Amino acid sequence: MKLTDDDKAMRDGAEGPAVAAAMDLLIRYGEALDAEHLCDVRNVAGTTTQPSPVKARLVAEGGWEKAFSVINLDADFDSYEALPIPDMKVPTCQLQQGFGPDSVGIAPYPEKFVELQSDAEAFYGRRGVHILATCTPYQVGNLPTRGEHCAWMESSAVVYANSVLGARTNCEGTASTGAASLTGRIPCWGNHHDAHRLGTHLVRADVPVSGFRDWGMFGYFVGELVQEARPVVVGDLARPDLTELKHFGAAAASSGGVELYHVPGVTPEAPDVETAFGGTVPEAVGYGAAERRHVYETLNDQGSCTDVDFVLLGCPHASLDQIRAAARALEGRRLHSGTQLWIMAPRALKDTADRSGYTAVIEAAGGKVLADSCPAMSRSAPPGTKVFATDSAKQAHYLPAILGIEAWFGTLDECVDAAVTGRWRGGL
Ligand code: F3S
């Protein structure tokens, strides 16, 4: 792999041992990928603060320096010295993490992890990590420009950055984002190259795709179909808003591994179908009534008992419009005595929802707006939950396996109805 003089200087220790370890990691990573060189990044979305038993042990042994050295720089677990960690070289934000202090007593999440995380926030905040604490950093001001090379983790954020923002990132990991933070470099391969951003599959909606639920279901279909390839979607599509694109991408990244899609006339690198493919347009695969029903049944095949204990909204983390819509649906109503409702949101948007009065309406009904995390990330749902309902295809896909609970998937109104009645009454 071709290295610049700066790369070599970092590798040889000119900026200290942590940066040298970071560059060594990036060189090994880039060579394994056959990347020809590294590219500059100035926007990293990674994870440093999320607690875990391993992290707790490392912090007890050698402080946050040891935790960062082992987890974020891939240093040897037992023998490595804790490296002094300098400030982040390029803007870096923390993605979703564990639940915070204001969730104690609501989410059953270990208090020792809440404390560990607060400590981590102080350590990394001093080194320049923006503690956005959300899987949707693009909703709270972390917006790369079109064409900008980034190093992001979190599949739903990566697919949004590539597709909706036209930024360029692969789905990075904890170690590669840690190394990118300290060097401002990442291997230049995959989604960083023009040729890897062209469409591979054409998918045509033959039934109307309109509204949050249907964009999620269509995304789920597309992901299952193309797996890790790059779909271009056309057909009977109502113009999606950003919330629907967020759901579409998260669903496609869950049923498959989609990191980039194009909606001609909507997403920035696809003014038309031909441009999206860079020339020859393949034959389309149709998404009709039978395919739509199949997706719906797949997303609901973990549900059998219609008594709902828990309703979860906001995956990926809710937009302000979604929080407001939930507040309107809950206004003047009261949750069923055996059912809880949580809406997951970025903390900055929760603050705005508080000021706008939406949170008060949701809380008056008995619901909660929570920040920083989600049940899947923190493995935490209301105690005793056996059956949950959600409007998120991604949560319906993952949470039953993570928590061993049943799932129902439907619209916001169906979910709110379940929260108020304690019964699932949704349908296609
Ligand atoms: Fe975000 Fe959790 Fe969903 S991290 S994308 S709310 S699974």
Q: Separation of 242 CA from ligand 1 center, angstroms?
A: 16
Helices 320-330 + 347-356 axis angle, to 10: 40
- Cα 53 to chain centroid distance, Å, stands at 22
Cα separations in angstroms, 160 against 55, 137, 261: 29, 10, 9
Q: Is the CB of 139 under 6 A from ligand 1?
A: no
pLDDT of 366-421, one tens digit each?
999 999 999 999 999 999 999 999 999 999 999 999 999 999 999 999 999 999 99
Q: Separation of 326 CA from ligand 1 center, angstroms?
A: 18
Q: Separation of 69 CA from ligand 1 center, angstroms?
A: 26
Q: Is the CB of 344 under 6 A from ligand 1?
A: yes
Q: Is the peptide bond before 316 cis (omega within 30 degrees of 0)?
A: yes
Ligand 1 pocket test target in 374, 378, 388 with most atoms within 8 Å of CB: 374
Q: Is the CB of 376 under 6 A from ligand 1?
A: yes
Q: Separation of 350 CA from ligand 1 center, angstroms?
A: 16
Q: Is the CB of 317 under 6 A from ligand 1?
A: yes
Residue whose CA is closest, atom 6 of ligand 1? Answer: 315
Atom of ligand 1 nearest to the CA of 316: 5
Residue whose CA is closest, atom 4 of ligand 1? Answer: 135
5-101+111-194 with 303-421: one CATH topology? yes
Residue showing tokens 């989604």: 191
Q: Is the CB of 163 under 6 A from ligand 1?
A: no
Residue showing tokens 């370890």: 21
Q: Is the CB of 315 under 6 A from ligand 1?
A: yes
pLDDT of 347-358, one tens digit each?
999 999 999 999
Q: Is the CB of 176 under 6 A from ligand 1?
A: no
Query: What pTM does this model have?
Result: 0.97
pLDDT the model gives residue 78: 64
Q: Is the CB of 135 under 6 A from ligand 1?
A: yes
Residue 332: phi and psi, rounded to 5, are: 75, 5
pLDDT the model gives residue 75: 79
Q: Separation of 110 CA from ligand 1 center, angstroms?
A: 19
Q: Separation of 281 CA from ligand 1 center, angstroms?
A: 34
Single-letter amino acid, residue 418: A
Low-confidence stretches of the chain (pLDDT < 70) are 77-80
- Cα–Cα distance, 357 to 248 (Å, whole number): 29
Residue whose CA is closest, atom 1 of ligand 1? Answer: 316
Q: Separation of 212 CA from ligand 1 center, angstroms?
A: 16
Is the distance from CB of 395 to CB of 312 less than 8 angstroms?
yes
Atom of ligand 1 nearest to the CA of 95: 4
Q: Is the CB of 250 under 6 A from ligand 1?
A: yes
Torsion angle, alpha carbons of 380, 384, 389, 393, to 10: 30
Q: Is the CB of 96 under 6 A from ligand 1?
A: yes
Q: Separation of 23 CA from ligand 1 center, angstroms?
A: 30
Q: Is the CB of 394 under 6 A from ligand 1?
A: yes
Q: Separation of 83 CA from ligand 1 center, angstroms?
A: 31
Q: Separation of 226 CA from ligand 1 center, angstroms?
A: 22
The fold for domain 5-101+111-194 equals Aconitase; domain 3 (3.30.499)
Single-letter amino acid, residue 373: S
The residue ranges of every structural domain in the chain are 5-101+111-194, 198-298, 303-421
Q: Separation of 209 CA from ligand 1 center, angstroms?
A: 23
As a three-state string, the secondary structure of the chain is CECCHHHHHHHCCCCCHHHHHHHHHHHHHHHHCCCCEEEECCCEEECCCCCCHHHHHHHHHHHHHHHHHHHHCCCCCCCCCCCCCCCCCCCEEECCCCCCHHHCCCCCCCHHHHHHHHHHHHHHHHCCEECCCCCCHHHCCCCCCCCCECEECCHHHHHHHHHCCCCECCECCHHHHHHHHHHCEEECCHHHCHHHHCCCEEEEEEEEECCHHHHHHHHHHHHHHHCCCCEEEEEEECCCCHHHHHHHHHHHHHHCCCCCCECCCCCCCCCCHHHHHCCCCCCEEEECHHHHHHHHHHHCCCCCCCECCEEEECCCCCCHHHHHHHHHHHCCCCCCCCCEEEEEECHHHHHHHHHHCHHHHHHHCCCEEEECCCHHHHCCCCCCCCEEEECCHHHHHHHHHHHCCEEEECCHHHHHHHHHHCECCCCC
Cα separations in angstroms, 17 against 13, 67, 85, 183, 290: 6, 15, 9, 12, 58
Class of domain 303-421: alpha beta
pLDDT the model gives residue 285: 98
Q: Is the CB of 399 under 6 A from ligand 1?
A: no
Q: Is the CB of 316 under 6 A from ligand 1?
A: yes
